[in-house]
Amino acid sequence: MAPRGVTVGIIVFAAFLGGLAGGTLALAVAQQGSAATSRLEDRIQAIEETAANFSHEMTALKEELAQATNRSRELLERAITRNKSEDERLVEAVAKVAPTVVSIVATKEVPRLRVEYVNPFGNDPFFRDFGIRIPVYRQEGTVRQKVGAGTGFIVSRTGVILTNRHVVADPQASYVALLSDGSQVPLRVLYRDPKWDLAVARVEGEQGAPYPTAPLGIATTLRLGDRVAVIGNALGEYSNSVTTGIISGLNRRVVAHDASGNAVELTGVIQTDAAINPGNSGGPMINLNGEVIGIATATVLGSENIGFAIPIDEARAVLQRLFRGEFVPGQI
């Protein structure tokens, strides 16, 4: 019987060992699975980091591409500009600014006069029958008539207009702007500058708004010989007339006289050989980029092609003061 018990014990012991080995195998498999999961998580993290880096690189490349595209576009535009003739650029510049130019007409109530021919000696009987008569003007009411004309240009979409002071100098007159589309709008003078021959007006009401505006350039960069054009209401009859020339002088000092004989000293003005005819006063002087760099203001009577313009930098300063509400009593 003993041998059988031993055998049974060995069998039981062997069975116990077998169960232990099975548990060890399961533990090993679990450990291997955990390691595999960790490696997968590491790989996933590495892939995510790579994707993030790739996304950053793509963003940087897109930015570089956009910058390169802008540079290429700028270079192309410069090349096109270089290849254009000055005449082509001048035509484009005039077309750009012309819609902003207005003709300004001043009207006023003036006496209506009737001419009578009377004896200068009155009722003196000695001279009564000599037949001597002289004209005498007698007033019969008033009539509104045109008393002046000039030019201006629109600088804001609400209808603010720059012009010369002498164009709108009479506070008793009424002013009307003839727009480039043929319409007429009443003007209200906002400001008359005491130093420069500058004035600011505005379209009354909202009809026609928003208005086209003239881009303002910089006069301090002008050079002798630069091509320019002047747009204005020549002789008060020919609106949007264009004359061309060059910058003939800079920082000039002149004394100009208005129609009433009042003298105005102007310093730092631009000289040009572009014709500035009566009626051109207040019109824009533009460069080849279609930017206003001056305001036509005076010409030398009896001369050939000697005109002057106020630098646009002075007008810009006036506009900035005006919009900030910096008025001085007596200037408006």
* pLDDT value of residue 318: 86
Count of Cβ atoms closer than 10 Å to residue 99 Cβ? 17
- pLDDT greater at residue 228 or residue 12: 228
Q: Where are the domains of the chain?
A: 99-203, 219-323
Among 57-66, 123-132, 194-203, 220-229, the least confident range: 123-132
Q: How far apart are CA 196 and CA 314, in angstroms?
A: 8
Q: Each residue of 34-53: b (16+ CB within 10 Å) or e?
A: eeeeeeeeeeeeeeeeeeee
* pLDDT value of residue 241: 86
Catalytic residue among 156, 197, 239, 248: 197
CATH class of 99-203: mainly beta
Averaged pLDDT, 241-263:
84
Q: Sort 190 into a burial class: Cβ within 10 Å, 0-12 / 13-18 / 19+.
A: middle
| 230 neighbors 249 (Cβ within 8 angstroms) | no
CA 136 to chain centre: 54
Q: Which one-letter DSSP state was computed for residue 209?
A: P
| 297 neighbors 278 (Cβ within 8 angstroms) | no
Percent over 70 (pLDDT), the chain: 73
* pLDDT value of residue 217: 93
* pLDDT value of residue 305: 82
- pLDDT greater at residue 118 or residue 173: 173
Return the CA Rg of the chain: 44
Q: What is the mean pLDDT of the chain?
A: 79
Averaged pLDDT, 221-233:
92
Q: Which one-letter DSSP state was computed for residue 220?
A: G
Averaged pLDDT, 155-178:
91
**Are domains 99-203 and 219-323 of this chain identical in fold?**
yes
pLDDT in tens, 85-134: 888 898 999 999 999 999 999 888 666 666 766 666 566 565 555 666 66
Q: 219-323 — its CATH code?
A: 2.40.10.10
User: If you write DSSP's letter for every residue of 279-305 in order, what string do you get?
Assistant: T-TTPEEE-TTS-EEEEEEEE-TTSSS
pTM given for the model: 0.65
Tokens at residue 135, please? 């004209």
Averaged pLDDT, 220-227:
92
Residue 166 appears among annotated catalytic residues: yes
pLDDT of 274 strictly over 80: yes
Sorted by sequence, the CB contacts under 8 Å of residue 102 that are 6+ apart come out as: 151, 152, 153, 154, 161, 177, 178, 179, 180
User: If you write DSSP's letter for every residue of 52-113 in order, what string do you get?
Assistant: HHHHHHHHHHHHHHHHHHHHHHHHHHHHHHHHS-HHHHHHHHHHHHGGGEEEEEEEEEEEEE
Q: Which residue has the tokens 């420069």?
A: 196
* pLDDT value of residue 210: 87
| β-strand partners of 281 | none
Q: Which one-letter DSSP state was computed for residue 168?
A: G
Q: How far apart are CA 101 and CA 81, in angstroms?
A: 25
Averaged pLDDT, 280-309:
89
pLDDT in tens, 26-73: 555 556 667 777 778 778 888 878 877 777 778 888 888 888 888 888
